[in-house]
A = this chain, B = another copy of it.
Amino acid sequence: MHEFELIKKYFSKLAKKNKSSLELNDDVFFDRSKKLVVSVDTYVEGIHFINFKKPNLVIKKIIRSSISDLICKGVEPKYYFISGSGNKKSFSKINLSKILRSLKEEQKKYSIFLCGGDTVFSNKLSFTITSIGFSNKIIFRNKAKLNDDIYITGNLGDSFIGLKLLKKKISLNSRLNKYFVNKYYLPDLQTNISKKLLSFANTSIDISDGLLTDLEKLINNQKYSYKIFLKDIPISKNLQNLIDLKKYKKISCISNGDDYQILFTANPSKSRIILKTSKLLGTKISKIGKICPHYQKSQIIDEKNKKITLKSKGYFHKF
């Protein structure tokens, strides 16, 4: 939704010009004096979720997508508000009980609770989730430093395959179908590492738009560039097998977002503590590249040590 980046710029004039506000340049709002962190996101049927045939999974996905904004900044989500617009069919008794059960499970899993919201009639189904947490500090966007290492938690790409399956653009056996679709609907949020990030990450973001697109948002409004190595980008065994079997390009599989893994940068001196933290928590953390000077072009190096030429800014819609 690149056009809406413009809108954001437009409206940033309205944000109070002080340090506690992020001037709408970040994914969350942080009021330092009140220690308050807020994320507001809208999810529309047909754009952010394909349809509402599986309300239980859609609800879980959007809740996770919302609290992920806080978790990747080192902030524990505390409560959330959900506003739904939809028709009677979307909010049928059966669907409501499914939504209720999903929310209950998410509340238990992430220690969050519902604090309010709104439900209105509309032909178009959409949800706005407001997530709130409290923290003395957060990790900001656009605070990468030159020569920082670039890290990523977990694996990328599974969710994208799940989406392709849901859109019936590819088909796989039922075991793999279930595996990838689940990764799409139920991203594993890295709650364990969230608070630890505050001690070593200079900047962070959750991958929702795609590794390369989100990486662009970390390099301080293009003050720097990045260099990443394709071979170091972590993927699951299932995805590796699929790539080998179907001759998919790895770069396409890992550039399309919805991963909700945490992308962060840290000073090279922090590599030991990051490795230690990873082992201690049992959380996969991979070093995938470096922050480079602005006069270099951002580079992706493939398995054969060759530069990959990007067709468009981080988007690889061809499969």
Contact = CB atoms under 8 A, between A and B. Distances in A.
A118 B66 CA distance: 12
A24 B116 contact: yes
A106 to B, nearest CB: 10
How many chain copies does the complex carry? 2
A146 B265 CA distance: 62
Contacts of A134: 34
A47 to B, nearest CB: 6
Given A29-B81, A128-B128, A14 B104 contact: yes
B15 A128 contact: no
A1 interface: yes
A156 B100 CA distance: 38
Nearest to A113: B16
B121 A11 contact: no
Interface of A: 1, 4, 7-8, 10-11, 13-16, 21-22, 24, 28-29, 31, 34, 36, 38-44, 47-48, 79, 81, 83-85, 91, 96, 100, 103-104, 107, 113-124, 126, 128, 130, 132, 134
7 contacts: A22-B116, A24-B116, A28-B116, A40-B83, A83-B128, A120-B126, A122-B126
